[in-house]
Amino acid sequence: MNQSDLNFDFKHIWHPYSSMINPLPCYPIISAKGIHLKLNNGKKIIDGMSSWWSVIHGYNNARLNKSLKDQIKKMSHVMFGGITHPSAILLCRKLIEITPKKLECIFLCDSGSVAIEVAMKMSLQYWQALGEKRCTFLTIRNGYHGDTFFAMSVSDPANSIHSLYSTLLPTHLFANAPKCVFGETWNEKDIYSFDILIKENKSDIAAVIMEPIVQGVGGMKFYHPKYLEKVRYLCNHYKIPLIIDEIATGFGRTGKLFAYEYANIIPDILCIGKALTGGMMSLSATITTKNIAHTISNGKANCFMHGPTFMGNPLACAVATENISILQEKKWKKQIFNIESILKLKLLPLQQHPKVLNIRVLGAIGVVECLYKINIKRIQFFFIKHGVWIRPFNKLIYLIPPYIIDQYSLKKLADVISEALDNDNFFIY
């Protein structure tokens, strides 16, 4: 990549949540291996983001690479309508194996947002099939479920990403976000707002949808498992399906294979994505119970009305299967435990820092919530100069490193954050 390539990118290519006139700088990465990203100038930087929760086993992983190469020789793609193939079957067998028994019907999709759309459509069709008109979803504030329209409609309405479309979006019900924090004491009052909303709207609600334990884009907050336990109880009580969005948290990130395990609950519909393929391909899945799947199939439409072109893509399924095989060897538990210990050791003392509002660590997630908005452009330049890749947003600097990260590199990530906090130029007062 030369300067003219970068100028071309600047002029013609959109990046996530960016401006076409005055975008933040984009750093050219030409390759990646293990926990390192290699810049155009040959410099290697330590990855603190796992490419947004996805690259859990590191870049250029030999086993994941091999699974793709082996599959490419057999077949890269074939339509899923009227056709099936070993790659999808193997993956779905694995998914059934690692999720609760009750979840036995799998819909493969192409991205997280689509998995959410599918989960919401399933809920709507479920009630249609039962002869009830239910169009409202109940969720909690500070949530994030993706960027497509229906996913936006259940993401936090005050969040700047989605507020632009607020007049176009269907209106759903938002309970107060949980206040009780993971690891602290539970206060029964926390569930009141949710409790009232579900009771008052019980005949209109098609489903409840939430992120389990960790609210990601909505503020990197960790809430009390009791909240989720109560939600499950209330959903059971009013016979309303519960959709759990494990797209960010799934596959070990929080210290459990799935974050809902902290609350000992089982969802009626489970959405997974991001780390499903170890960050190798875009793939997601919506998994539900036989009851919901069969009710939908017995309905007026006789079928579930969704079917993406690249549904069940053999390459994506093959690499997801290998990714889960790696996880099933159970090294991840120790990896997450070690990451958690070091993040706690290195980040918790920053709680005393005058620019810090709160420090929190759960599994392989470390969050430094600052008192001030961060100047992303300046802080990122500093991070790169010091050999790390960390991408803050709003007032949050957070680490979600690949599970394979070594102690030394992880400490370095934390040290660079700690140093950045001392620089007044990186914050907007």
Ligand X SMILES: *Cc1c(COP(=O)(O)O)cnc(C)c1O
205 Cβ contact partners less than 8 Å away, ≥ 6 residues apart? 134, 136, 137, 138, 173, 198, 238, 240
Binds ligand X (CB under 6 A): choice among 61, 71, 113, 142: 113
- Ranked by CB distance to ligand X, the top (closest) residue is 112
In the residue annotation, 274 being an active-site residue is answered as: yes
Single out the segment in contact with ligand X by CB under 6 A; choices: 176-184, 243-251, 289-297, 370-378: 243-251
In the residue annotation, 59 being an active-site residue is answered as: no
59, 126, 144, 227: the catalytic one is 144
Tell me, residue by residue from 141 to 160, as one string, x for binding to ligand X by CB under 6 A and - for no binding.
---xxx--------------
Query: Which residue number, 112 or 255, has a Cβ lying nearer to ligand X?
Result: 112
Does residue number 209 form part of the binding site for ligand X (CB under 6 A)? no
Does residue number 48 form part of the binding site for ligand X (CB under 6 A)? no
Single out the segment in contact with ligand X by CB under 6 A; choices: 106-114, 340-348, 392-400, 404-412: 106-114
304 Cβ contact partners less than 8 Å away, ≥ 6 residues apart? 107, 121, 122, 125, 293, 296, 297
Query: Which residue number, 177 or 342, has a Cβ lying nearer to ligand X?
Result: 177
Does residue number 268 form part of the binding site for ligand X (CB under 6 A)? no
Find how far residue 336's CA is from the centre of its chain: 17
The rounded distance, in Å, linking the Cα atoms of 233 and 228 is 9
Does residue number 112 form part of the binding site for ligand X (CB under 6 A)? yes
Does residue number 47 form part of the binding site for ligand X (CB under 6 A)? no
Does residue number 247 form part of the binding site for ligand X (CB under 6 A)? yes
Does residue number 277 form part of the binding site for ligand X (CB under 6 A)? no
Does residue number 273 form part of the binding site for ligand X (CB under 6 A)? yes
Tell me, residue by residue from 175 to 204, as one string, x for binding to ligand X by CB under 6 A and - for no binding.
------------------------------
47, 110, 195, 245: the catalytic one is 245
Single out the segment in contact with ligand X by CB under 6 A; choices: 140-148, 288-296, 305-313, 336-344: 140-148
The catalytic residue positions are 17, 144, 245, 274
